[in-house]
Amino acid sequence: MTWLLFAEAGVPEGGLFDLDATLPLMAVQVVLLTYILNSLFFRPVSKVVEDREGYISTSRADAKQKLAQVEKLEADLSEQLKGARQAAQSVIVAAEKEVDNLYREALAQAEAEANRTKEESRRAIDAESESARTKLQGQVDQLSNKIIDRLLSAR
């Protein structure tokens, strides 16, 4: 109460600093205002900021974890892709070998068939040639006999 009396007392004129009841009253007002602002504004704001920082840190940790999972999956998929490419390449090589073998077999069969046909044709030609020779030989013998008979009959 004495402080209030000092605050209501007249302000003396003069001096650089007047030390009356105003200074402690202002100090009390600053402390009271700081407490009120702290309890009404700063604590809720700091709680929101802390919650947001917590959310950001957990989100960051989750993002790092998910990134690690994605990188692991990417490595696994690239490994699977590499294996699939190797398997496809081996299938292609096997198919090329199979096609080459089939081609060689077909070529060998065609050559064998051609040789067999050529041999049959040669035998048929030889048989016809022999038949024609024997036929011609028979005709030559008949003609020579006729020529001899005519020559002998003309004499």
Q: Output the tens digit of pLDDT for each of the chain's 155 residues.
A: 555 555 555 555 555 555 666 778 888 899 999 999 888 888 888 888 899 999 999 999 999 999 999 999 999 999 999 999 999 999 999 999 999 999 999 999 999 999 999 999 999 999 999 898 898 888 888 888 888 888 888 76
Residues 3 and 24 sit within 8 Å (Cβ to Cβ) = yes
Whole-angstrom Cα distance, residue 46 to residue 31?
19
pLDDT of 140: 87
CA 64, CA 60: separation in Å to the nearest integer? 6
Q: What type of residue sits at position 53?
A: E
With a CB cutoff of 8 Å and minimum separation 6, the contacts of 22 are 7
Rounded Cα distance between 95 and 99, Å, is 6
- The pTM (predicted TM-score) of the whole model is 0.45
